[in-house]
Amino acid sequence: MIIHNLILNTEMENSEQKVTFFQSNAALIKGFFIGFLIFLLLIPTFMIQSIVSEREGRKSEVIREVSSKWGNSQQLIGPILRIPYYEISRIEKLNTNGKKEIEQSKSLEYAYFLPNQLEINGLVNPEKRSRGIYEIVVYNSKATFDGDFTNISLDQFKVLPENILWKDATVLFTLSDLRGITEDMELNWNGNKSFFSSGAKLPFARESNIALSGINTPVQINDEGKGRYNFHFESNLKGSESLNIVPVGKTTKVMLNSNWGNPSFIGAFLPDKRVVNEKGFSASWKVLHLNRDFPQQWTGNAPETMTQSSFGVNLITPNDNYQQSSRSVKYAILIIALVFMAFFFIEILNNKRVHPFNYILIGLALCIFYTLLLSISEFLIFNISYLIASFLTICLVFLYSKSIFQNTQLSGLVALVMLTLYGFIFVIIQLEDTALLIGSIGLFAILSITMYISRRINWQNVGLKK
């Protein structure tokens, strides 16, 4: 009998030890499961990120397709004065008698000269074109070019005067896409008028991979190149997204005006003065030849650094939904983790039980938020899309948690947490320069609140501390 009682007491003690072990580690086990589930939910999050990239790539393809038919981004270089000349080469050779003879060969070369003064006044009129659900920004531009060439001389190239073909001088004007020209271009050269014709290119070295189409027209220059040659012409061009100008003048002044209220000034030089508002923008540049890395005259291939000195404006589309959707997906892990933490604390502090399957469905609902956001933002502006997607997700989780907790107040607390998180992420997405600062302060506040709540929990015997 004594032995039987000892065995029963031992079994009861072991049973009590087993129950005590699971009870004391229930929170830890549940926490590990939640962490593992958060890790698994990264998989659909990455898939959503790839969908965003795919849709953004599709938009880029549509932009390229429309631009190829309307006119690509334009980069303007010119005017450039081209003077042909003969280069004489002397080669010593042995004749049949073994005597040295000098053989001369003549080749046609070109010298290029840039303007002394160049003033460009441009007006850019943007238009929005739609292809399916995508919107593309194209533009019509009108610009006037005024300036002068002064005292053209080939002495520095050591060309003899009799080898210079002054009568064959031409003016070049190059641009990225000739299809953008909408009207004939006429050059006024010291009062003499002539029309540009196509078929000229500004030569670059083959290794540079630079290819620019050009137009040209003949001009009259006296046999010495001395004096001042004033020019004036207008361009009417179509293009898309951006307009760039290379500062070829010894002094280049550019003024651009447009009714587009969201410009992005790009290139090697920012405007000296600019005014941007909802009615459009006005910007002016002044660039000296000392500010750039190519000379005022050269022979042979053009300096590769010419295109690197361009500047201009990019007509960006405000609130790009794909960029903002991509940024919001990056915070998915934060949303999921904090919502799960809210459910976990409600479990412990209110003696409620949430089944692991419930956590899985809630996690999937949080992931579907981003697909809703992406799909709706392709038809509406991003801010409204974010409001709709967050409202639907919060309502879904609120109703589901109400069926779990059977308590409206606890479900309302979950909805409040989600509303706060989505609002916090929305603010960060809208910010640029201060996004890191606001995000860090917000995360610090969230961690502080979590630590404050968790101090009330008895983690050994799960429940509230007495």
pLDDT in tens, 207-224: 445 556 788 999 998 877
pLDDT in tens, 93-129: 666 666 666 666 778 888 999 999 999 999 999 888 7
C-alpha span between 11 and 107 (Å, rounded): 110
In the block, tokens 């697909």 appear at 371
Secondary structure class of 293 (helix, strand, coil):
coil
**pLDDT, average across residues 147-155:** 89
Is the C-alpha dihedral spanning 346, 347, 351, 352 positive or negative? positive
| pTM > 0.85: yes or no | no
* Residue 313 neighbours by CB under 8 Å, 6+ apart: 124, 242, 243, 256, 258, 263, 264, 265, 266, 281, 283
**pLDDT, average across residues 312-336:** 81
Q: Quick one: residue 312, left, alpha or beta (phi over 0 = left, psi -120 to 50 = alpha)? A: left
The tokens for 310 are 């361009």
Confidence of residue 173 (pLDDT cuts 50, 70, 90): very high
